[in-house]
A = this chain, B = another copy of it.
Amino acid sequence: MANAGKPDWSGCPTRYAAGIVGDKWCFLLLRDVLLHDKRTYRAFLASPEGISTNILANRLSKLEALGMFTREPDPRKASSVCYFPTQKAKDFLPALLSMMVWATRYDEVTEAPPSFAESFKEDPDGTIAWYEAKMDRVDQALRSS
């Protein structure tokens, strides 16, 4: 695996973050959960980057082990499964948005509208709160269905 799950990658904050987010698939799964409201295996699998199913299974259990996701039965269909972000994952949102601002600036063919970076710069807390509220709505709706 992409090592760095736990042992001795603690201590230094950057190294700790690198141990989780320094893997493109974990990084993208975090995006899917925090920004794109994806909660199921199928949904993750359908992301345009094309993760393969063995890697997806591996990363989902890694993220669960790291306390980023919880694995729960799907309220809509008991045979199915949902992955929900924990508080630890939700708290990663500001860092994710910061990286998106940076990427928006340097990716020549970015699909992000300029308004995104502007609104984050003008009111970071408000932007974060907006995404958090959206996430909470999604999760509450899903859980109580």
A→B interface (CB under 8 Å): 2, 4, 10-19, 21-28, 31, 35, 48-49, 67, 88, 91-92, 94-96, 98-112, 116
Contacts and interface: CB of A to CB of B under 8 A. Distances in A.
29 contacts: A4-B24, A10-B110, A13-B99, A13-B104, A13-B112, A14-B31, A14-B35, A15-B28, A16-B106, A16-B107, A16-B110, A17-B27, A17-B103, A18-B27, A21-B22, A21-B99, A22-B23, A22-B26, A23-B24, A67-B106, A91-B102, A91-B105, A91-B106, A92-B99, A95-B95, A95-B98, A95-B102, A98-B98, A98-B99
Q: Which 8 A-B residue pairs are closest in the complex by CB-CB distance?
A: A22-B24, A13-B103, A95-B98, A13-B100, A14-B31, A16-B103, A17-B99, A18-B27
Contacts of A106: 16, 67, 88, 91
Contact of A100 (B14, B108, B112): B14
A103 B17 CA distance: 6
Tell which of A67, A99, A105 has the most Cβ of chain B within 10 Å: A99
A94 B105 CA distance: 13
A11 B110 contact: yes
